[in-house]
């Protein structure tokens, strides 16, 4: 990278000739970024987006002030769906930054793949191929595919995915660095892996469906979070459960009015086939509950309501275990991934009533009605043990952008990976 452009940090404002709000000005060897001292990381990320817009392919971060978080902010702004590299790291943080880039680039690239490229089985296999080399002696896995899901009682994943010619899959990946087959499972990560979401018979409009390749972003996020934790020396046994399916329309697809009865006896009437994420996650949460793990974390691009509430800058965090929720918010703050708590109480379980089943999967109004993100979290809370103790639900409002913006290129962001990885590292084993 000897010919790469050098980028330096400048705490002073740009000279007047460049305009009052200039954040990026040329130097003899490249460019300097004029920091907004109130929001330095954001100003760096915005300037990096400008450099990407200029077509710059390779840069070297030079001079003073480039701590880990500032270098990482630059990387997030500089990279895009077509370019996941090109930044020469500086200083002692280089190893940590390389680990982050490895995990984020995998998650972003797989989320940006086309629906044709990424079937449910392809997502599961790609996850195994990503994680196994990180700890080949400690990782094993199992795929439960197609009608085998029904045989084992995983009715949610099967029901949502049965309308596609490409079968649904549950991936169970076991990271067990103890080497003991009877070692307790300290944590389970559960991810929504809807590789394409047409909405089913509650079909989405084209403008919403056009970027629904991102609906497996939860699966990519928890897989990358596990990878990052492993690279940082995670010594606890953790299992990863990905709930993978295509939500398509056919003569075999599930329909409004159908009732699914889960392994814990909960019956669910389908009032919206586009509220499918919670149906597949319910299976993953039930599996996690069966392990006896004291920590369960799920992540999903679950509701538009979370995006309405928080925009694309924050992920939403739900929990009934408020002490754990507060600690997780602290970990997210430490790694500078904006995360915000939204309301969840036990009574949210009753917000989607059904005259035919224990609950419906949604309310029969557009978008699920008011409080949709909390109602979805309430639905999920039916499938976790001990009244939600030890359970966290991330609704990934900040995981994907449908178009270029001032902070992010179009596509997957990876937001949530660091927060979940840090929560896993800090909390696994506490129970």
Q: Could you tell me if 276 and 194 are in contact, meaning their C-beta atoms sit under 8 angstroms apart?
A: yes
From the candidates 42, 204, 327, 389, give the one annotated as an active-site residue: 204
Q: Per the structure block, which two tokens stand in for 189?
A: 């990560």
Q: 97: Cβ–Cβ under 8 A, 6 or more apart, which residues?
A: 68, 71, 72, 75, 89
Instruction: Give 387: exposed, middle or buried? Use CB within 10 Å, 0-12, 13-18, 19+.
Output: exposed
Q: Please identify which of the residues 70, 166, 213, 278 carries the catalytic annotation.
A: 278
Distance CA 373, CA 318 (A): 9
C-alpha to C-alpha distance for 424 and 323, rounded to whole angstroms: 15
From residue 354, how far is each of 262, 269, 305, 334, 350 by CA, in Å?
Answer: 16, 7, 21, 42, 9
Q: What is the four-CA torsion angle of 341, 345, 347, 351, rounded to 10 degrees? A: 10
- The reply to whether 382 belongs to the active site is no
**Is 418 a known active-site residue?**
no
CA angle 186, 189, 192 (to 5 degrees): 165
Which among 172, 191, 185, 167 has a CA at the least distance from the CA of 250? 167
206: tokens are 């084209």
**At a CB cut-off of 8 Å and minimum separation 6, what does 286 contact?**
262, 263, 264, 383
First vs last Cα of the chain: how many Å apart? 47
Active site residue ranges: 204, 278
């Amino acid at each position: 990278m000897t010919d790469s452009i050098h980028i330096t940090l400048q705490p002073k404002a740009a000279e007047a000739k460049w305009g009052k709000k200039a954040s990026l000005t040329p130097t003899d060897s490249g460019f300097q970024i004029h920091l907004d001292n109130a929001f330095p990381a954001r100003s760096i990320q915005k300037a990096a987006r400008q450099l990407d817009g200029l077509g710059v392919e390779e840069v070297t971060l030079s001079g003073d002030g480039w701590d880990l978080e500032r270098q990482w902010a630059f990387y997030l702004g500089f990279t895009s769906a077509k370019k996941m590299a090109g930044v020469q790291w500086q200083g002692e943080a280089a190893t940590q930054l390389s680990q982050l880039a490895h995990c984020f680039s995998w998650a972003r690239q797989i989320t940006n793949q086309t629906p044709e490229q990424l079937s449910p089985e392809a997502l599961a296999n790609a996850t195994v191929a990503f994680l196994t080399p990180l700890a080949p002696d400690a990782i094993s896995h199992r795929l439960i595919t197609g009608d085998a899901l029904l045989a084992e009682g995983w009715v949610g994943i099967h029901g949502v995915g049965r309308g596609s010619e490409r079968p649904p899959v549950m991936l169970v990946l076991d990271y067990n660095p103890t080497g003991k087959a009877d070692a307790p499972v300290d944590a389970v990560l559960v991810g929504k892996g809807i590789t394409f979401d047409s909405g089913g018979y509650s079909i989405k409009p084209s403008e919403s469906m056009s970027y629904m390749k991102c609906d497996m972003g939860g699966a990519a996020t928890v897989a990358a979070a596990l990878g990052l934790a492993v690279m940082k020396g995670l010594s606890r046994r953790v299992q990863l459960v990905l709930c993978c399916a295509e939500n398509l329309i056919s003569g075999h697809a599930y329909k409004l009015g159908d009732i699914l009865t889960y392994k814990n006896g909960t019956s669910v009437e389908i009032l919206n086939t586009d509220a499918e994420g919670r149906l597949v996650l319910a299976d993953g949460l039930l599996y996690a509950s069966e392990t006896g793990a004291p920590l369960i974390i799920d992540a999903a691009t679950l509701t538009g309501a979370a995006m309405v509430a928080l925009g694309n800058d924050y992920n939403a965090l739900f929990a009934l275990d408020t002490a754990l929720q507060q600690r997780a918010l602290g970990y997210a703050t430490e790694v500078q991934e904006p995360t915000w708590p939204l309301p969840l109480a036990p009574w949210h379980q009753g917000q989607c009533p059904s005259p035919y089943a224990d609950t419906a999967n949604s309310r029969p109004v557009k978008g699920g009605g008011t409080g949709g993100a909390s109602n979805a979290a309430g639905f999920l809370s039916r499938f976790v043990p001990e009244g939600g103790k030890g359970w966290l639900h991330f609704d990934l409002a900040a995981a994907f952008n449908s178009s270029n913006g001032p902070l992010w290129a179009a596509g997957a962001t990876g937001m949530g990976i660091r927060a979940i990885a840090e929560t896993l590292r800090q909390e696994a084993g506490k129970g």
